[in-house]
Structure formats: C-alpha cells, structure tokens
C-alpha cells in the first residue's frame, strides 16, 4: 500500500520535472540564439559616427553642483585648462572637416569646468563611438636633502622641495581594469539597451544574456581603446618626431564611465619649459591635432575593415 502511494506521488513529480527540463532546454536555446544574434551586431556593425572630445579640467564655476572637479596642472606661464580647450576646439574643427561623416562633440566649450560625472554623461547621451580626453602632464616636486651646516662635528641636513621638470613628451592612458565594474554598469545602461531593440524585448541587466553581452562589449572596447592609443602614440613619434612614453593603465573616472572605446592623451609636460612652449604654440597644437586626426582615420579604416570581413 505504501509503495502504491509512493508511485502515485512520483508520477506527477517526474512529469513536472520532464516539463521543466524541456522548458529550460528551449529557453537556453533561445537565449543562446539571442546572444549570438546580438554578438554578431557587436562584431559586425561598427561605424564611427560620433567622437567625443573632452577638454580636461577648467575653472570651477561658482555654486557648482555636486561632483568631482580638478584644477589641473600649471606651467611657468600657462594652465592646463586653457591649453586643453584650445586643442579640443581645433580638434573638433579638424575632425568635422577631414573625417567624412563623423560628428565631434565637446564636453566643454568655455573655460568653465564640467564635473567628471557630467563629462561621461555627455559622452553616453550623444552615443559616442570614441572618447578622446585631452590633458597636459606634470611631475610633482622632488624632495631632496641638502647639507646646511655642521653641529658638534656632525653634518646637518634639511629637506627641500625642488621642481621636477624632467618629464617630456606625450603619454596615452586607458582605464585600469580594477574599475571594470563601473565600465560594466555604463555599458549596460548605454549599449545593451540599444541592442534590445533588435527584437523589441526589454533586457534585464541581471539576465545571463546581458552579462555575456556586457563582457563582449568590454573586451571589444578594451581592445579598441588600446588600438587607438597606440595609433596616436605612433603618429606623435613617427610623424611629429616627438617623444612618447607609450601606453599605461590608470583608474580615471571619465574613461571607465564612458560606454565606448576611450583614450586619455597627455599631450606633453606643461611644467617642462620646452614642452610648455610647444603646447602653447600654434605649431605644436596643430601637430597634436593632426596626429590625432590621422590616428582616427587609420582607426576607422582598420575597425570597419575588420567588421566587414
């Protein structure tokens, strides 16, 4: 009697289990198909349409809203905020003139600063395909010990701060991997949503499909950021004959919060007298702009060729 009752209970249980397994299988197949479809879009549909140009720093406005602001570096006669804006304005004109079909959007157009948060927001709202942040580098003062006399037969030293003007040349920065969680959130909010329109379904950020797509975007953007950084560095060295310190990772807010390939260009050391003269000259600014434009043209050609093949 007990065995009959047990068998009677088992029948609906196994029927439900079978139904659950079948449903899971078909849901899994649908998820894989959806993922493959969207992955193909990520891989094959790249078009460079909008470049975001970010002029670093600025003058913090009175009664500025909450946010992260930074004064920037200074040289003997100039400030980073003015140099970066001058280069950014020239770069916008050059891109729209020489890179056909591409719009250039500035994160600031005046001396007034824009918070880090707002800069990333501008980039994402304008659906940028490439983010280029313009900055000037600077080295902190060195602390040296100098002998100032003798006391009881022993030398006496004191510490002094000395300006370090040894830095020279350009440097490219991409976002540090330790901030990848912030990059994931930016991608989910600004990229995955657009891909959801392929089949009209709203995508849940916690859906495994979305997680897979986010990872695909991150790897793609990372690779493209490095590619763009190297192209700019090569142009500066090979065409302009300047020094470049190459490529480094750094945990920079605007880079990891912009859901697109992103590069920060340290155009030179503003506290180095030679670099400061160069950065403030028409010749120097035009060379920097032209190097970035040539790099963008090469980048677009390489990326769009890769996605077509």
Each residue's pLDDT tens digit, 220-256: 899 999 999 999 999 999 999 999 999 999 888 888 8
Residue 215 and residue 212: Cα distance in Å, rounded? Answer: 5
Residue 75 CB-half CA count within 13 A: 24
Q: Where is average pLDDT lowest: 29-43, 77-91, 141-155? A: 29-43
Model confidence at 28, pLDDT cuts 50, 70, 90, reads very low
**For residues 192 and 280, which has the higher predicted lDDT (pLDDT)?**
280
In the CATH hierarchy, which fold is given to the domain comprising 47-137+168-308? Aminopeptidase (3.40.630)
Question: Do residues 259 and 52 make contact, with C-beta atoms less than 8 angstroms apart?
Answer: no
In this prediction, residues 106-115 reach a mean pLDDT of 94
Residue 82 and residue 89: Cα distance in Å, rounded? Answer: 11
Question: Do residues 24 and 79 make contact, with C-beta atoms less than 8 angstroms apart?
Answer: no
**For residues 219 and 44, which has the higher predicted lDDT (pLDDT)?**
219
pTM over 0.85? The answer is no
Question: Do residues 35 and 212 make contact, with C-beta atoms less than 8 angstroms apart?
Answer: yes
Three-class secondary structure of residue 144 per DSSP: strand
Per-residue pLDDT reduced to its tens digit, 159-172: 878 888 999 999 99
Residue 150 and residue 277: Cα distance in Å, rounded? Answer: 42
Three-class secondary structure of residue 98 per DSSP: helix
Other CB atoms within 10 Å distance of the CB of residue 188:
19
Phi, psi of 138 (to 5 degrees): -165, 145
CA dihedral in degrees (201, 29, 33, 206; nearest 10)? 50
Q: What's the CA angle centered on 244, arms 164 and 107, to 5 degrees?
A: 90
Pairing status of strand 50-55 against strand 142-151: unpaired
Q: Which of 221, 257, 250 is nearest to 67 (CA)?
A: 257
Model confidence at 179, pLDDT cuts 50, 70, 90, reads low
**For residues 57 and 28, which has the higher predicted lDDT (pLDDT)?**
57
Q: 130 has which bridge partners?
A: 51
**Tokens for 46?**
């790249």
Other CB atoms within 10 Å distance of the CB of residue 278:
22
**For residues 55 and 209, which has the higher predicted lDDT (pLDDT)?**
55
| The pLDDT value given to residue 205 | 58
Model confidence at 187, pLDDT cuts 50, 70, 90, reads low
- pLDDT of residue 19 exceeding 80: no
CA distances from 239 to 135, 176, 231, 236, 268 (A): 20, 28, 11, 6, 16
Q: Please report where in the chains the tokens 């994402």 appear, as a residue.
A: 124
| 279 CB-near residues (< 8 Å, 6+ apart) | 75, 78, 83, 136, 267, 268, 270, 285, 288
- pLDDT of residue 185 exceeding 60: yes
| The pLDDT value given to residue 1 | 45
In this prediction, residues 196-212 reach a mean pLDDT of 55
In this prediction, residues 205-218 reach a mean pLDDT of 70
């Amino acid at each position: 009697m007990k065995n009959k009752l047990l068998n009677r209970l088992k029948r609906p249980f196994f029927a439900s289990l079978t139904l659950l397994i079948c449903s899971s299988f078909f849901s899994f197949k649908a998820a894989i198909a959806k993922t493959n479809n969207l992955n193909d879009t990520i891989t094959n549909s790249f078009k460079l349409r909008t470049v975001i140009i970010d002029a670093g720093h600025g003058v913090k406005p009175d009664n500025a809203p909450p946010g992260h602001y930074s004064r920037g570096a200074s040289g003997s006669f100039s400030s980073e905020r003015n140099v970066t804006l001058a280069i950014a304005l020239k770069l916008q004109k050059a891109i729209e003139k020489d890179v056909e079909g591409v719009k250039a959007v500035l994160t600031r157009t005046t001396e007034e600063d824009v918070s880090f948060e707002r800069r990333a927001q501008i980039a994402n709202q304008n659906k940028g395909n490439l983010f280029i942040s313009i900055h000037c580098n600077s080295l902190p003062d060195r602390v040296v010990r100098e002998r100032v006399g003798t006391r009881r037969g022993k030398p006496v030293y004191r510490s002094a701060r000395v300006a370090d003007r040894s830095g020279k040349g350009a440097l490219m920065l991409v976002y540090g991997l330790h901030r990848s969680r912030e990059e994931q959130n930016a991608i989910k909010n600004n990229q995955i949503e657009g891909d959801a329109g392929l089949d009209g379904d709203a995508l849940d950020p916690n859906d495994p499909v979305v997680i897979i797509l986010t990872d695909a975007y991150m790897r793609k953007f990372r690779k493209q950021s490095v590619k763009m950084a190297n192209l700019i560095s090569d142009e500066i060295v090979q065409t302009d004959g300047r020094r470049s310190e190459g490529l480094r990772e750094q945990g920079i807010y605007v880079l990891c919060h912009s859901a697109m390939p992103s590069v920060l260009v340290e155009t030179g050391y503003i506290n180095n007298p030679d670099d400061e003269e160069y950065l403030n000259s028409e010749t120097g600014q035009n060379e920097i702009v032209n190097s970035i434009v040539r790099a963008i043209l090469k980048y677009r050609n390489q990326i769009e060729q890769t996605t077509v093949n």
